[in-house]
A and B are shown apart, each in its own frame.
Chain A
């Protein structure tokens, strides 16, 4: 059932591509750069965040005022604040599009579970960072979110209380709270770059940035939004005042809205359950091995006798699955007899794509399920048999 749904979603995704590629040259299709767009928005967030950081004072009395000062008294301060706000939403949208696209197009198989798992952690952290960002504004919405977050954490049995105290910097609201929330906003944002390293580490030439067109258009859209719909603070946070209706940011604040009418532990368990399912995705294959056919032809095998250490396979492998080692013994063919290096395929990283086979000029690599002899036999048959056909 899951498999059939996923196949249908893949068909939808790829048909959408056909439609989009009628408008854009294929290598400018924005959906091919969802990861790059996410990274771009993260970069914009960091730069605008550094600017805001210089003006923000994390104290119960000055937190709100410092942000208002930034918005109203600093030249273009309101613009930078708005850019920060809208890039955060754009970051989550791009990250979700990235997740959905890579999920629906089978890009998590074999060793590609590494980027997937690191990506799920980044999504979790990103959501957390966004929520703390809203708290830092320290208006009535920020206070309500903090209260709700506190409640959600405390509902966790055994460890909940400790986590809640870590969040608010002590037993209750105090002067330590906002500096703690600021730390929890900036620290995980830096940790995102560590996770991003993990995300890229198994890939050669990762698409880190989108093409220039999309960099400019994305930057322009968040700037335009920031100018046309300014980001404003609500009333200053007043602990003890009765809660009023607050505007909801659906990307970051959904759990807190749910906590308004669901028991807190239910909300916590739903979020945990959703992410747990997310972590399982790369290990549930959409197709059976047989249905994958030629795409599951076995891990690439180096034919030691022929390898000359030319490194062409090493340069071409998109997953860094081939390493060159000092040749421990000499090869058999004449070209391989005087080699210095030998190619070795790391099974855990090989996704069985066969690109190394195409790169090798010395017939030193084979896919067990699709040997060169099979290709040449079928091609010979095809050339011979095709001649017998009438037009």
Chain B
């Protein structure tokens, strides 16, 4: 894996940790918050939004690593070899 690939992989791990922290926040809120779920809903909503964003960015980084792709078409590079990783 080359330098940019390592950067993307590090990014995936970092984002996964952030996502896990947000999930932990939500779980803690459910455990320790009031039964009506009304206090600190802003924090819960922010954690939820952050989880969505983090998942989307993880998918983007995985795509740049060449590990997932929607179409075989653009991941193949005729000139430099049958399969190029990572995708530019």
Tell whether any CB of A sits under 8 Å from a CB of B in the complex: yes
**Cα-based distance from A226 to B42 in the complex (angstroms):** 8
Q: Is A27 a contact partner of B70 (Cβ separation < 8 A)? A: yes
How many B residues have CB within 8 A of the partner chain?
28
Q: Please, which residue of chain B has its CB at the minimum distance from the CB of A222?
A: B49
Query: Do B60 and A224 touch (CB < 8 A)?
Result: no
**Given the complex of chains A and B, what is the CA–CA distance between A212 and B41 in angstroms?**
26
Beyond A223-B49, A223-B52, A228-B42, whether A75 also contacts B37 by CB under 8 A is yes
Q: Are A25 and B74 in contact (CB under 8 A)?
A: yes
Are A212 and B59 CB-contacts (below 8 A) given A25-B88, A73-B38, A227-B43? Answer: yes
Cross-chain contact A216 with B52 (CB below 8 angstroms): yes
- In the complex the two chains form, what is the Cα distance from A217 to B56 in whole Å? 5
Determine the chain B residues whose CB is within 8 A of the CB of A72 once the complex forms.
Answer: 38
With A79-B45, A220-B50, A222-B49: A27-B71 Cβ-Cβ less than 8 Å: yes
Q: Is B50 a contact partner of A224 (Cβ separation < 8 A)?
A: yes
B12 touches A (CB below 8 Å): no
Q: Mark B57-71, 1 if CB is under 8 A from A, else 0.
A: 101100110000011
Whether A27 contacts B74 by the Cβ 8 Å rule is: yes
Pairwise interchain contact B49-A227, C-beta atoms closer than 8 A: yes
CA distance A82 to B37 in the complex (A): 17
Contact A227 B56 (CB under 8 A): no
The number of inter-chain residue pairs (CB within 8 angstroms) is 89
Kindly state the separation between the CA atoms of A76 and B37 in the bound complex, as whole angstroms. 7
Closest partner residue, chain B, to A26 (CB atom): B74
Are B74 and A75 within 8 A (Cβ)? no
With an 8 A cutoff between CB atoms, is A58 at the interface? no
Q: A283 at interface (Cβ–Cβ under 8 A)? A: no
Question: Which residue on chain A has the smallest CB distance to residue B46?
Answer: A227
Q: How far is the CB of A350 from chain B (nearest CB, A)?
A: 25
Q: Are B53 and A213 in contact (CB under 8 A)?
A: no
Interface of B is mostly: helix
Bound-state Cα–Cα, A76 to B70, Å: 35
B53, A221: Cβ atoms under 8 Å? Answer: yes
By the criterion CB–CB under 8 Å, are A226 and B45 in contact?
yes
A28 at the interface (CB under 8 A from B): yes
A246 CB-CB contact with B under 8 Å? no
Q: Which B residues touch A346, using CB under 8 A?
A: none
CA distance A214 to B56 in the complex (A): 6
- A54 CB to nearest B CB, Å: 17
Distance in angstroms from A208 CB to nearest chain B CB is: 14
> Of A22, A78, A220, A226, which one neighbours B53 at CB under 8 angstroms?
A220
A20 at the interface (CB under 8 A from B): no
Whether A75 lies near B36 (C-beta < 8 A) is yes
Which residues 53-86 of A sit at the B interface, judged by CB distance below 8 A? 72-73, 75-76, 78-79, 82
Contact (Cβ within 8 A) A219 B52: yes
Q: Which of B38, B49, B54, B70 has most chain A Cβ within 10 Å?
A: B49
Complex contacts, B64 vs chain A, CB 8 Å: 25
Interface residues as binary, A11-24 with B (CB distance below 8 Å gives 1, 0 otherwise): 00000000001101
A173 interfacial by beta-carbon distance below 8 Å: no
Q: Name the CB-closest residue of B to A72.
A: B38
Contact yes or no, B41 A227, CB < 8 A = yes
* Docked pose: A215 CA to B52 CA in angstroms: 9
Contact with B42, one of A213, A215, A221, A230 (Cβ below 8 angstroms): A230
Verify A213–B57 contact, CB threshold 8 A: yes
Does A259 belong to the interface (CB within 8 Å)? no
Which 3 interchain pairs have the tightest Cβ spacing?
Answer: A227-B45, A220-B52, A224-B49
B residues adjacent to A (C-beta < 8 A) = 36-38, 41-46, 48-57, 59-60, 63-64, 70-71, 74, 87-88
